[in-house]
């Protein structure tokens, strides 16, 4: 009598491929948005779509933003760019069927591999199965080892120095709970006093001085957003390596080959 391993759960995915129509980086490469910049014979967004499909872990895909004909067969739901990150996130999630948890990924991380994506999904399922929001972060050491000399924005906490990933995982049933509060936080990011009022002065001070630990930060973010939020430390530097400027594109070309 033969036996087989249980099927791994599928995730739905929202790919954020919109952007500012006046983006000079995109315009310099003859396209309207960054996700359509060509790399190794394909738009940046197509590399991400291929990774999702080749992982074998993704069910339905909603893509927010303009596409090319070669991208469309890998997309289940095409969603018009709503003009802002959170509006695009909300529209992308709304376009997906109910049920599966949702992976949200930007369309500008072409170096992520299917194996790395599977690893992140497995780790999230094992470490944070009940979290409403899971956000992968990468250590500076992992980034420096994988891509020496590449500049990223890092945050130092007691547990180490990290850069944020360009994907996150969420329970779509909870999006209505945390999006309004997240909008408030983002609106306050350039108003220090207002931001301190939301985060709490003592927590903000410990964060900017590198004395905050990941567990306390998780707890505070969970309180602010009203859902259980967890950080996921991944060794995969490609998840924290987006293509934002010419040097990033040159790095991607060196890794993937082609123009």
DSSP string, 216-259: HHHHHHHHHHTS-EEEEEES-GGGG----SHHHHHHHHHHH---
Tens of pLDDT, residue by residue, the chain (259 residues):
444 545 667 999 999 999 887 899 999 999 999 999 999 999 999 999 999 999 999 999 999 999 999 999 999 999 999 999 999 999 999 999 988 899 999 999 999 999 999 999 999 999 999 999 999 999 999 999 999 989 899 999 999 999 999 999 999 999 988 999 888 887 776 676 777 788 788 887 787 788 899 999 999 999 999 999 999 999 999 999 999 999 999 999 999 987 7
Pick the CATH number of 11-256 from 3.40.50.300, 3.30.420.40, 3.90.550.10, 3.30.460.10: 3.90.550.10
Asked if 64 and 81 touch (Cβ cutoff 8 Å), the reply is: yes
Vertex 162 angle, CA 34 and 39, to 5°: 25
Q: Domains of the chain: which residue ranges? A: 11-256
Question: H/E element holding 89?
Answer: helix 85-94
120 vs 233: CA distance, rounded Å? 9
Task: Kindly calculate the radius of gyration of the chain based on its CA atoms and give it in whole angstroms.
Answer: 18
């Amino acid at each position: 009598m033969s036996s087989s391993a249980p099927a791994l759960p599928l995730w739905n995915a929202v790919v954020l491929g919109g952007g500012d129509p006046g983006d000079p980086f995109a315009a310099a490469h003859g396209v309207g948005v960054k996700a359509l910049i060509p790399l190794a014979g394909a738009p940046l967004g197509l590399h991400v779509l291929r990774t999702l499909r080749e992982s074998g872990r993704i069910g339905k895909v909603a893509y927010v933003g303009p596409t090319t004909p070669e991208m469309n067969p890998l997309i289940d739901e095409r969603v018009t760019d709503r003009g802002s990150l959170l509006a695009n996130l909300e529209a992308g999630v709304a376009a997906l069927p109910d049920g599966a948890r949702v992976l949200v990924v930007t369309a500008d991380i072409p170096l992520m591999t299917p194996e790395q994506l599977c690893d992140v999904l497995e780790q999230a399922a094992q470490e944070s199965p009940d979290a409403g929001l899971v956000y992968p972060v990468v250590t500076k050491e992992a980034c420096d080892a994988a891509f020496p000399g590449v500049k990223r924005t890092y945050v130092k906490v007691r547990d180490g120095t990290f850069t944020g990933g360009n994907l996150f995982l969420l329970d779509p049933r909870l999006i209505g709970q945390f999006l309004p509060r997240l909008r408030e936080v983002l609106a306050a990011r350039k108003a220090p006093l207002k931001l301190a009022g939301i985060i709490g002065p003592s927590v903000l001070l410990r964060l900017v001085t590198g004395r905050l630990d990941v567990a306390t930060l998780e707890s505070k973010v969970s309180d602010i957003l009203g859902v259980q939020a967890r950080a996921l430390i991944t060794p995969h530097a490609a998840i924290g390596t987006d293509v934002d400027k010419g040097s990033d594109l040159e790095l991607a070309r060196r890794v993937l080959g082609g123009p």
